[in-house]
Chains A and B, each alone.
Chain A
Amino acid sequence: MLPGPRTLFQKIWDDHVVARVNGDAVLLYIDRHLVNEVTSPQAFEGLRTAGRKVRAPGATLAVADHNVSTDDRSNGITFGDPESRAQVEALERNVRAFGLPYVPLADRQQGIVHIIGPELGLTLPGGTIVCGDSHTSTHGAFGALAFGIGTSEVEHVLATQTLVQRPARAMLIRVDNELGQGVTAKDLVLHIIGTIGTGGATGHVIEFAGDAVSALDMAGRMTLCNMSIEAGARAGMIAPDQKVFDWLKTAPLAPKGGELDAALAYWQTLRSDEGALFDKVLIVDASDVSPMVTWGTSPEAVITADGIIPDPSALSDPSKRTEVAHMLNYMGLQGGDRISGTPIDVAFIGSCTNGRIEDLRAAASVIGDRRVAPGVRAMVVPGSGLVKAQAESEGLDRIFMDAGFEWREAGCSMCLGMNADRLLPGQRCASTSNRNFEGRQGPGGRTHLMSPAMVAAAALAGCIVDPRVARQ
């Protein structure tokens, strides 16, 4: 029997089913396993206890990113605290004991795992990629099925190169028309999360499609897929096209020569068939999307940059009223005020969401001859050593430093409050990262998510600004 029309997700799924386990649960083959220092130590310990080996070391790549210091490394590597050092050292012991490929901290290609995977060409269309990190969805920008897993599943993949999985439902988010001038992939994904909520895609794999998605560069597509987890999605993906193929032509570990031709022929088939059914569909008009900024402690608590902070007393639903009031109290904001003009203490440009070269170019382009506002700590953290080197070759480091930004080494940095880069209680941060949860960037810290250009503009103005007003 010929299969009916299938979605992109279904095609990749079907090509990776190893066996049926029980009911609708299958054993799914995993092509690439990225390993970091935070979510792996207990998994390696589990292997040791059971006397098991890693099944496919060549399909595994380890790198430390969450815990690492982003201080200058020219005179050696430092750590913020002994526990961070211990975790990185544990990773180094484990990769040696189990014979795993590893990018050392001192290597120029070290960086955030979701930035270096695509850079190296490990991320391939039609592949399955997992990592003990929820932002693994980033790799879906290449037409891969990529998702975050917990530590028990990390151990399972190390030992078996498979996962027991039940099929996800398929969701289509089609973005028609064009994004306006100065409106970025970050604004688009925040707009989508604001529309469907942080649980809006739970149980689903999102396929992003439509003219506005095709028009995004690879960096923008990675930003979009990266934050699909913030809408609750199991994964986000985009059908691969010429932009993906061009990227892979220069990626060192992508196929070459005749193998590339064969791969290209297969990759061209990786799109949802005409008539394929989705369980859920959302159609977005890109021309409705404005520059966005979060005001609360959930990515769905988001408004346009020229918007008004919600007033809890105007809400009829009592539980919603309590929730909004609680968020505003934590954030130190007043309902009914304009979000623009809110003073900031810190500006952070970086993370797996917005730490790529295109993001740094966008941020640098708004600086001109201005300087960071007095009293604001502004930091730029390239997502990888290669991004850093590229930015330096373009002179972006000089633009940032001359304007008063710190120019730091690669790592997760102030995205998650695990390393030395943290907010102090009460500090307010304009951030290109992905989560504005309470305490995410440090206990008591207040996070406003926005695009790189908006963070740069906020650093210069000393407050949150509407980029469309700021440009005039």
Chain B
Amino acid sequence: MKSFTRLHGIAAALPTANIDTDKILAGRFLKTVTREGLGRVLFSSLREQPGFVLDQAPWNEARFLIALDNFGCGSSREHAPWALLDFGIQCIIAPSFADIFYTNCLKNGILPLKLSLLQVEHLMSLAEDPRTASMSVDLRDQILSYHGGETSFDIGAQEKNDLLNGVDEVARTLTFAASIRSHEMIRDAQRPWLAGTLRAPWETKWYNVTREDAGESR
């Protein structure tokens, strides 16, 4: 995971609620096997319209995006945060986020920042004027600074720690290998039917045999 400590840059306002991940990155652009290059097709349907904010200077260099409630609802596609990041957006400010999108941001070093609707509306009005559209955020101190003021914000201790340190989450979890193994042993004793016994199709036609058959064939 990429780390996030502080960020300074232009903020762009998208004064809409329920911006879904299909709108952020349309389904037809999901056919990629890498994470890069999706910034070009970020918000593709909006960018077909002349005057879309992210195509105008200075917001074409935006690092912050400000939107209304339930940002990132819909599909679980991580391609949506990849596209935002590829464009240059590293902090999204909204009153609320969809759960999967929120998690996907954290995994990619994007700070999803929750503020009250009142605060968000004030920041949007600042972002609409190029002279007041610059903002800064410091994650360690949990402070967002903007033209004429600053505010603190909440974030879970786990999320903050992981973002600051750019934690390799898989590596950290692998340090729990003994606990995982012991969970599996308890599972095998108490709920053995939950143990995964599927076989690769070139080893056996697993889907045409019963579980007992699969067990005997080992």
Contact = CB atoms under 8 A, between A and B. Distances in A.
Contacts of B156: 23, 25, 166
A259 B31 contact: no
Contacts of A25: 156, 158
A232 B200 contact: no
Interface string A27-65: 101011000001101100110001010011111110000
Contacts of A27: 173, 176, 179-180
Interface in B180-218: 180, 183-184, 187, 191-202, 206-212
A101 B201 contact: yes
Contacts of A61: 198
A86 to B, nearest CB: 7
Contacts of B118: none
B122 to A, nearest CB: 15
Interface stretch (A69-77, A196-204, A342-350, A454-462): A196-204
Given A160-B180, A437-B23, A86 B33 contact: yes
Contacts of B28: 417-418, 443
Nearest to B199: A101
A58 B179 CA distance: 20
B78 A87 contact: no
A149 B70 contact: no
B70 A156 contact: no
A18 B173 CA distance: 11
Contact of B194 (A31, A159, A166): A31
A151 B78 contact: yes
A95 B206 CA distance: 15
A417 B33 CA distance: 18
Interface centre among A122, A151, A319 (most CB of B within 10 A): A151
B210 A148 contact: no
Nearest to B121: A319
A260 B207 CA distance: 18
A263 interface: yes
B27 A418 contact: yes
Given A18-B183, A56-B196, A437-B22, A256 B210 contact: yes
Interface string A239-265: 000000000000011111101101100
Interface centre among B77, B176, B193, B211 (most CB of A within 10 A): B193
Interface string B154-189: 001110010000000111111010011001100100
Interface string A415-452: 01110000000000000000101111001000000000
B108 interface: yes
Contact of A443 (B26, B31, B179, B212): B26
A61 to B, nearest CB: 6
A150 B30 contact: no
A406 interface: no
Contact of B99 (A234, A438, A443): A234
Contacts of A263: 191, 193
B74 interface: yes
Interface centre among B35, B75, B161, B174 (most CB of A within 10 A): B75
Contact of A440 (B22, B169, B192, B210): B22
Contacts of B136: none
A67 B33 CA distance: 13
B173 A120 contact: no
B165 to A, nearest CB: 12
A262 B176 CA distance: 29
B75 to A, nearest CB: 5
Interface residues of B, number: 71
Nearest to A231: B73
B20 interface: yes
B103 interface: yes
Given A42-B33, A120-B207, A438-B45, A100 B69 contact: no
B73 A232 contact: yes
A454 to B, nearest CB: 23
Contacts of B18: 198-199, 298, 300
A60 B82 CA distance: 25
B103 to A, nearest CB: 6
A199 B69 contact: yes
B96 interface: yes
Given A104-B201, A440-B27, A29 B99 contact: no
Contacts of A56: 196
Given A42-B33, A162-B173, A102 B201 contact: yes
A417 B27 contact: yes
Contacts of B74: 134, 229, 435, 437
B170 A42 contact: no
A126 interface: yes
A160 B201 contact: no
B143 interface: no
Interface string A62-100: 000011000000000000010110110010000110011
A20 B206 CA distance: 36
A149 B193 contact: no
Given A27-B179, A124-B193, A95 B31 contact: no
Contact of B158 (A21, A41, A103): A21
13 contacts: A45-B34, A59-B196, A100-B200, A101-B201, A107-B201, A150-B100, A156-B170, A199-B96, A202-B96, A202-B98, A202-B99, A418-B30, A438-B23
Interface of A: 15-16, 18-19, 21-25, 27, 29, 31-32, 38-39, 41-42, 45-46, 50, 52, 55-61, 66-67, 81, 83-84, 86-87, 90, 95-96, 99-104, 107, 109, 120, 122, 124, 126-127, 132-134, 148-153, 155-156, 159-162, 164, 166, 198-199, 202-203, 229, 232, 234, 252-257, 259-260, 262-263, 266, 298, 300, 319, 323, 416-418, 435, 437-440, 443
CB-CB nearest 3 A-B residue pairs:
A59-B196, A152-B107, A83-B31
Given A15-B191, A58-B198, A155-B170, 4 more contacts: A57-B198, A148-B100, A153-B107, A439-B23
